[in-house]
Copies of this chain bind each other. A is one copy, B any other.
Amino acid sequence: MLDLGTIDRSNDRPPYRQIADILRAHIDHGRLAPGEQLPSEATLIDHFGVARMTVREAIKELRTEGLVVAQHGKGVFVRSAPPVRRLASDRFARRHRKEGKSAFIAEAEASGHVPSVDQIRVTNEVASPEVAERLNLKPRERVIVRSRRYLTDGRPVETATSYIPESIAKGTPIAEVNTGPGGIYGRIEDAGHELARFTEEVSARMPTPAERKALEIGAGIPVMTLVRTAYDTNGVPVEVCDTVKIAHSFVLEYDVPAQ
């Protein structure tokens, strides 16, 4: 049985924070393991002798910190640790492309998780002004828009949307759902655009409601966004890709360029 201790009403720290501290410590020390259920609101109310809202404030704090998730009608559960993901995986992608595997799949498998992709949608649209600027296109030029969602072990971890100029995609299966071995980048190189350089903007923020829904996360879990542009050896932008990832642990490797 979990020893919850008691709160100190004379303490400066308000009761709801003390309760959150107690529960957080149990989680940190593994006495409340991932997946395990926290004591119910009613139990905590009885135990600490406080009002419902006070207990809820404490739990809200833990939810905001991403330590627990509440499930309506079931209880509050300790979040399980997520699989580690690679952040800038383009070099990694190079290594695996020849095997016909995407970086995402290769990496998930390497770390013992089951990868999958769903919600693949491919359309042909007039580039938005923003995309047109990033791809250095003339107004009203068309782009292939490829969006998809990545999952590990059946849980969504990332959404991505790529924009490729129609002029580059023409004659390739980039506008098909299945792009063949090596993926989009393989087809872009087939079309004579050897990839040379990527630029990424990385940021972290709280998710929008749409992102929360797509990634099946609560409002308190931050997301990392990557806005990537790929350039060929002539400096022509050949793809831009916007991805939104559940922010956990990512690994990035890079070299200091020769002087």
Question: Mask for A80-97, Cβ within 8 A of B = 1, else 0?
Answer: 000000011011001000
Interface residues of A, CB < 8 Å — how many?
40
Say whether B219 contacts A206, CB under 8 Å.
no
Beta-carbon contact of A222 and B198 below 8 Å: no
Q: How far apart sit A87 and B223, CA to CA, in the bound complex (Å)?
A: 16
Cα(A219)–Cα(B206), bound, Å = 12
Interface residue from B64, B223, B248 paired with A219 (Cβ < 8 Å): B64
- A205 adjacent to B66 (CB under 8 Å): yes
Of the candidates B88, B219, B253, B254, the one whose C-beta lies within 8 Å of that of A65 is B219
> A31 an interface residue at 8 Å Cβ cutoff?
no
Instruction: Assess the A200–B252 pair: CB atoms within 8 A.
Output: yes
| Complex CA distance for A197 and B255, rounded to whole angstroms | 5
Residue in contact with A252 in the complex, picked from B195, B201, B249, B255, CB distance below 8 Å: B201
A254:B251 contact, CB within 8 angstroms: no
Contacts of A65 in B (CB 8 A): 206, 219
B-facing mask of A187-213, CB < 8 A → 1, else 0? 000000001111111111110000000
User: Does A203 contact B64, Cβ atoms closer than 8 Å?
Assistant: no
A119, CB-defined interface residue at 8 Å: no
For residues 207 through 250 of chain A, which have their beta carbon under 8 Å from a beta carbon of chain B?
219-220, 222-224, 247-250
Q: Report if A254-B64 is in contact (Cβ < 8 Å); known contacts: A220-B206, A248-B203.
A: no
Whether A36 sits at the interface, judged by CB under 8 Å, is no
22 contacts between A and B (CB under 8 A): A53-B53, A64-B220, A65-B206, A65-B219, A66-B205, A90-B256, A91-B257, A94-B256, A198-B255, A198-B256, A201-B251, A202-B250, A203-B248, A204-B223, A204-B248, A205-B222, A206-B222, A220-B220, A222-B247, A224-B224, A254-B254, A255-B257
